[in-house]
């Protein structure tokens, strides 16, 4: 058997907490988005009735029935509020694990990662032949995951701002008022949708073994050293 025929080693990549929160968040987030689209159906505009309206290409859009959850406004609100709690719970559990384990160090995007992120983007765009050196997560992944955490927090805060605009009037005002908070909450949804689509495409196109790792926790391969 030659060196090239030697099977790559199995390495432990994802703790069970990471896997549970990953898949749990995916399921709950899908329900949140679907119920949110049903809520949007009740008033498919951003601004007070009669205008002026905040600019949006989705004004008056009716999304396909299969993409909406709840059937009507009250049903969608019930689903949205019910799914909010497990989504927050998964987020807090994941962040707690990152802090306790110290794994946040391998995920946090830092200024020194900018050059590596550019190199990785060039590799994905076939503008660079060699795969840049990386650790457990490459700089572009760090940027994506750090951004998702930030947008996740903004999703919760803008959601609370439109859920309790009177009790949390200071928070609603911070986002520019009820309609503005609703506007930003809606657009954060599409950021998550775009991230998910890109994430899935890159998993299958670049590193299919990472799907198995997220299911079993084990990854067959080596992580080249970073820096």
Could you state, in chain order, the average pLDDT of each consecutive group of 10 residues for the chain (227 residues)?
60 89 95 95 85 84 93 94 94 93 88 87 81 75 88 93 94 94 93 89 84 87 48
Separation of alpha carbons 202 and 117, rounded Å: 15
Separation of alpha carbons 10 and 57, rounded Å: 48
Residue 122's pLDDT is 86
Residue 5's pLDDT is 55
pTM of the model: 0.81
Q: Supply 164's token pair.
A: 């309790």
- Give backbone dihedrals phi and psi of 68, rounded to 5 degrees, phi first: -115, 150
Residue 174's pLDDT is 95
Q: Supply 108's token pair.
A: 């946090």
Confirm if 180 and 54 have CB atoms less than 8 A apart: yes
Residue 107's pLDDT is 85
Helix H or strand E segment including 183: helix 178-206
Residue 226's pLDDT is 39
Render pLDDT for 103-160 as a digit per residue (tens, 0 to 9). Answer: 888 888 988 889 888 888 888 788 887 777 766 778 888 888 899 889 989 999 999 9
Extract the runs of DSSP E, i.e. beta strands, from the chain.
10-12, 218-220
- Which of left, alpha, beta for 222 (phi over 0: left; psi -120 to 50: alpha)? beta
Residue 186's pLDDT is 94
């Amino acid at each position: 058997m030659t060196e090239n025929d030697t099977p790559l080693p199995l390495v432990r990549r994802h703790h069970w907490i990471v896997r549970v929160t990953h898949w749990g968040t995916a399921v709950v987030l899908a329900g949140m988005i679907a119920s949110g689209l049903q809520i949007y159906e009740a008033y498919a505009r951003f601004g007070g009735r009669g205008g002026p309206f905040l600019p949006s290409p989705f004004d008056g859009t009716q999304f396909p029935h299969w993409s909406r959850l709840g059937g009507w406004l009250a049903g969608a609100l019930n689903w949205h509020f019910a799914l909010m709690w497990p989504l927050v719970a998964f987020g807090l559990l994941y962040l707690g694990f990152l802090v306790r384990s110290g794994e946040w160090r391998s995920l946090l995007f830092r200024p020194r990662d900018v050059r590596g992120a550019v190199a990785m983007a060039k590799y994905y765009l076939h503008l660079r032949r060699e795969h840049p050196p990386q650790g457990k997560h490459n700089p572009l992944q760090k940027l994506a995951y750090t951004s998702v955490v930030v947008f996740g927090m903004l999703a919760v805060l803008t959601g609370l701002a439109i859920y309790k605009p009177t009790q949390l009037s200071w928070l609603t005002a911070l986002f520019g008022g009820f309609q503005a908070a609703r506007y930003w909450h809606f657009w954060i949804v599409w950021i998550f949708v775009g991230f998910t689509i890109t994430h899935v495409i890159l998993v299958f196109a670049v590193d299919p073994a990472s799907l198995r790792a997220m299911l079993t926790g084990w990854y067959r391969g080596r992580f080249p050293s970073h820096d």
